[in-house]
A and B are shown apart, each in its own frame.
Chain A
Amino acid sequence: MTTFVLTLAALTYALRVAGLTLAVGAGRMPDRWSEATTLLPVALLAAVAITQAAPGGRPQPPLIIAALVAAVAGRRIGFLPAVVAGTLAAAVVMSISL
């Protein structure tokens, strides 16, 4: 167990450093690459959200509802209230489906 923790810790830190190091060259990249790195957070966030909402590729309706509610609410009422709204929406859907 300790071997797992220490190995994964070293590996994860190396990956993090690699990402920040590669970012150093991003400012000197051509326009096309600059645009790609600007859109990168959008693509990554969308992918992480769908990964959480559809574990194993199987969409979970309460989680999909939570994501949609939070995404729309995030544009209007701020981050924390949007998270609460999304969580409550999922809780309502879960309680209805029980």
Chain B
Amino acid sequence: MRRGAPGLGMLSAMSPDLRLALGSSAGAATYSAVFGALAVRTGWPVWLAVLASLAIHAGGSQFAGLTALASGAPPVAAAAVGGLVNLRLVAFGIAMGDVFRGWRQRLLAAHLVSDESVAAAVSHPDPVRRQRTFTVVGLFLFIGWTGGTLVGATLGAALPTSMRSILDATAVSAFAALLGPMVRTWRTGAVALVGCVIAGTALLWLPAGLPVLLAAVAAAIPAVFSPRKEVQHQ
């Protein structure tokens, strides 16, 4: 038997959920390090940048709010901007489906709802598997996001700004890599295309977050206009 690199062997022995979680966490940590560094540059103390990632745990709104505050917006107005960006989390929560038993589980799980954790989970039709994937990916993402902010805020201005372009490409690739396997029929392909067109067009006039909500309309269109038939869940 040929010997392979020990690291590769260990990686392939891990569960798919763990591999996915580690990859997502590494990406999130790198991205959140940029948030930490930027927050410190605009005058935030390190502890506040870390608290933001711990308590909010939603990168898009954190960046949007940071930008709004830096341009002079009052704190509540900046929070409202962030809230608009995060409106899509309602749709992602709905997309998870009824996989949590009781109020306590839902209240505990809620903080882990994010684009990546839900996107990873909903590729599994089985509710048990879906809940497990969501929890594993969500926890690792949370740890990576918060830890990355701590590193970035501590290092401060040491992170090169040229890293942002590569981080943007990593973020796009992560979502596209999750979407690709879900497009298995002409119907899902059409929904993905319409979602892209709606969101891409709305971006010209609406702030970040709202175009994603409009794209939810794309999901409703085939359901409204298709003839009644037995629904096959993916």
Chain A interface residues (CB < 8 Å from chain B):
1-9, 11-13, 15-27, 31-57, 59-60, 62-63, 66-75, 78-80, 82-87, 90-91, 94
Across the two chains, which residue of chain A brings its CB closest to B86? A12
B119, chain A: closest CB distance, angstroms? 6
B36, chain A: closest CB distance, angstroms? 13
Instruction: Report whether A19 and B94 are in contact in the complex, using a CB–CB cutoff of 8 Å.
Output: yes
Instruction: Report whether B79 and A11 are in contact in the complex, using a CB–CB cutoff of 8 Å.
Output: yes
Contact indicator per residue, chain B 41-74, by CB within 8 Å of chain A (1) or not (0): 0011000100110011110011001000100000
Instruction: Report whether A17 and B208 are in contact in the complex, using a CB–CB cutoff of 8 Å.
Output: no
The residue from A6, A25, A62, A82 contacting B165, defined by CB atoms under 8 A apart: A62
Q: Verify if B9 is at the interface (C-beta below 8 Å from A).
A: no
Q: Tell me which residues across on chain A come within 8 A of B214, comparing CB atoms.
A: 47
Q: Tell me which residues across on chain B come within 8 A of A45, comparing CB atoms.
A: 115, 119, 175, 178-179, 182, 192, 195
Instruction: Report whether B89 and A19 are in contact in the complex, using a CB–CB cutoff of 8 Å.
Output: yes
29 contacts between A and B (CB under 8 A): A1-B43, A3-B75, A8-B82, A16-B93, A18-B90, A19-B93, A25-B98, A31-B230, A43-B194, A46-B195, A48-B199, A49-B172, A49-B175, A50-B203, A52-B168, A53-B172, A55-B208, A62-B165, A62-B169, A69-B173, A71-B176, A74-B176, A75-B180, A78-B19, A79-B20, A82-B173, A90-B169, A91-B169, A94-B165
Instruction: Report whether B87 and A15 are in contact in the complex, using a CB–CB cutoff of 8 Å.
Output: yes
Instruction: Report whether B196 and A85 are in contact in the complex, using a CB–CB cutoff of 8 Å.
Output: no
Q: Tell me which residues across on chain A come within 8 A of B140, comparing CB atoms.
A: none
Known: A42-B179, A46-B196. 15 other contacts (CB 8 A): A4-B69, A15-B83, A15-B86, A18-B90, A26-B94, A39-B191, A47-B198, A47-B211, A47-B218, A52-B171, A66-B173, A83-B174, A90-B173, A91-B169, A94-B169
B148, chain A: closest CB distance, angstroms? 16
Interface range for B: 35 or more
Bound CA–CA A5/B57 (angstroms): 11
The residue from A5, A26, A44, A70 contacting B172, defined by CB atoms under 8 A apart: A70
Instruction: Report whether B215 and A46 are in contact in the complex, using a CB–CB cutoff of 8 Å.
Output: yes
Q: Tell me which residues across on chain B come within 8 A of A86, comparing CB atoms.
A: 169-170, 172-173, 176-177
Q: Tell me which residues across on chain B come within 8 A of A48, comparing CB atoms.
A: 88, 115, 175, 199, 212
Q: Tell me which residues across on chain A come within 8 A of B234, comparing CB atoms.
A: 38
Contact (A20, B106) CB under 8 Å given A37-B95, A39-B188, A83-B177 = yes
Instruction: Report whether B93 and A22 are in contact in the complex, using a CB–CB cutoff of 8 Å.
Output: yes
Q: Tell me which residues across on chain B come within 8 A of A22, comparing CB atoms.
A: 90, 93-94
Instruction: Report whether A74 and B178 are in contact in the complex, using a CB–CB cutoff of 8 Å.
Output: yes
Instruction: Report whether B179 and A49 are in contact in the complex, using a CB–CB cutoff of 8 Å.
Output: yes
